[in-house]
């Protein structure tokens, strides 16, 4: 078995995927890159066809230009609609993130679960199927919010944000008889607000998919290492760029600010560059 370091690309509309990246880095020795589509951010209010087309195009182009062994779509909103199309268009393993409904249903005692995600994710057929399949014995209350996504972005960039909004968004889960004892953070931006959300919902158990994704990545990297999954032989490999350090890429260079650069450097990225298709 060699000690090859694999190159893993994390993808999201914004900084949310860094929560998945962080969990993955705890357990795996990899060379990460991070691509975020700040041109179309937030995905939670975009039509499905725009998300599918954009995500497929970006990931296909990125993996043709930069040597990549595995992709993590670290975005529930993109995974719940575009995962199968990405898999059809790239030749490397793709891991998607979907709301952690199954573990939430297993640990909920009062059988009332809250699903906190983007407006798109809470209405997706994929999400409904997850609930029917794994949480049919539970009442699943849903809140779709892009305001919390924006707040998470501001927090990560060290910009001021209004904490009161978090309480307002979650108000219906704080009072009355139907209060969830378990809340699924079904958007990768929300673990960045875990402390603030927990303050508003002190009795709820907050669940996200970060740890499960980290373990899935670890499993697939072992499969690659043991040649159970063929590593892709890159055609035109002379033209492909090999990154040997953590670099972040965004789709709208006009939004690269010093706050953004600093935010990413806090997560170990050397720089933020523009990626143009």
Contacts of 94 (CB under 8 A, 6+ apart): 59, 70, 71, 72, 73, 83, 86, 87
Is 174 noted as a catalytic residue in this protein?
Answer: no
Our finding on whether 44 is near ligand DGL (CB under 6 A) is yes
Strand ranges inside 118-227, DSSP E: 139-144, 182-185, 205-207
- Helix, strand, coil percent values for the chain (each to nearest 5): 45, 15, 35
The DSSP result for 100-126, as a single string, is -HHHHHHH-SSSEEEEEE-HHHHH-HH
Instruction: Encode burial over 129-141: b for 16+ CB neighbours within 10 A, e otherwise.
Output: ebbeebbeebebb
| Interface characters, 141-170, with ligand DGL (x: CB under 6 A) | -----x--x---------------------
- Per CB under 6 A, the list member of 6, 11, 21, 43 interacting with ligand DGL is 43
- Per CB under 6 A, the list member of 189, 212, 221, 260 interacting with ligand DGL is 189
Q: Give the interface size with ligand DGL as a residue count (CB under 6 A).
A: 18
Instruction: Compute φ and ψ for 275, nearest 5 degrees.
Output: -115, 115
Q: Least distance from C-beta 56 to ligand DGL, angstroms? A: 16
Distance separating alpha carbons of residues 11 and 75, to the nearest angstrom: 7
Distance separating alpha carbons of residues 106 and 135, to the nearest angstrom: 8
Strand, helix or coil at 130? helix
List the catalytic residue out of 75, 138, 174, 259. Answer: 75
- Per CB under 6 A, the list member of 38, 63, 68, 77 interacting with ligand DGL is 77
Contacting range for ligand DGL; rule: CB under 6 A; set: 8-16, 107-115, 228-236, 245-253: 8-16
Our finding on whether 63 is near ligand DGL (CB under 6 A) is no
Is 75 noted as a catalytic residue in this protein?
Answer: yes
- Per CB under 6 A, the list member of 42, 96, 180, 191 interacting with ligand DGL is 42
Instruction: Compute φ and ψ for 245, nearest 5 degrees.
Output: -145, 165
Q: Is the separation of the CB atoms in 129 and 232 below 8 Å?
A: no
CA dihedral 57, 220, 263, 168 (to 10 degrees): 80
Our finding on whether 188 is near ligand DGL (CB under 6 A) is yes
Contacting range for ligand DGL; rule: CB under 6 A; set: 22-30, 74-82, 103-111, 174-182: 74-82
Q: Which is nearer to ligand DGL, 28 or 38 (CB)?
A: 38
Q: Least distance from C-beta 235 to ligand DGL, angstroms? A: 32
Q: Which is nearer to ligand DGL, 149 or 169 (CB)?
A: 149
Q: Both tokens of residue 260?
A: 């953004």
Q: Least distance from C-beta 135 to ligand DGL, angstroms? A: 19
Q: Least distance from C-beta 33 to ligand DGL, angstroms? A: 17
Please identify every residue annotated as catalytic: 75, 187
Q: Which parts of this chain interact with ligand DGL (CB under 6 A)?
A: 12-14, 16, 41-44, 75-77, 118, 121, 146, 149, 187-189
């Amino acid at each position: 078995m060699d000690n090859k370091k694999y190159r893993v690309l994390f993808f999201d509309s914004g900084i949310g995927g860094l929560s998945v990246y962080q969990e993955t880095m705890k357990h795996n020795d990899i060379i990460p890159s991070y691509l975020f589509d700040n041109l179309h951010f937030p995905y939670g209010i975009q039509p499905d066809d725009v998300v599918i087309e954009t995500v497929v195009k970006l990931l296909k182009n990125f993996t043709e230009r930069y040597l990549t062994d595995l992709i993590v779509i670290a975005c529930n909103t993109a995974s719940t609609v575009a995962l199968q199309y990405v898999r059809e268009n790239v030749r490397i393993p793709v891991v998607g993130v979907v709301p952690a409904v199954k573990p939430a249903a297993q640990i909920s005692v009062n059988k009332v679960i809250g699903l906190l995600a983007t407006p798109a994710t809470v209405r997706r057929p994929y999400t409904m199927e997850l609930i029917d399949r794994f949480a049919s014995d539970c009442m699943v209350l849903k809140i779709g919010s892009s305001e919390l996504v924006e707040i998470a972005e501001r927090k990560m960039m060290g910009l001021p944000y209004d904490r009161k909004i978090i309480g307002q968004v979650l108000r219906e889960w704080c009072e009355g008889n139907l209060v969830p004892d378990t809340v699924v953070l079904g958007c990768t931006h929300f673990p960045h607000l875990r402390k603030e959300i927990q303050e508003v919902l002190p009795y709820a158990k907050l669940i996200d998919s970060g740890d499960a994704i980290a373990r899935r990545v670890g499993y697939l990297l072992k499969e690659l290492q043991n040649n159970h999954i063929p590593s892709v032989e890159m055609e035109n490999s002379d033209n492909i760029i090999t990154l040997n350090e953590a670099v972040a890429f965004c789709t709208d260079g006009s939004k690269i600010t010093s706050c953004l650069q600093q935010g990413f450097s806090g997560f170990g990225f050397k720089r933020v560059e523009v990626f143009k298709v």
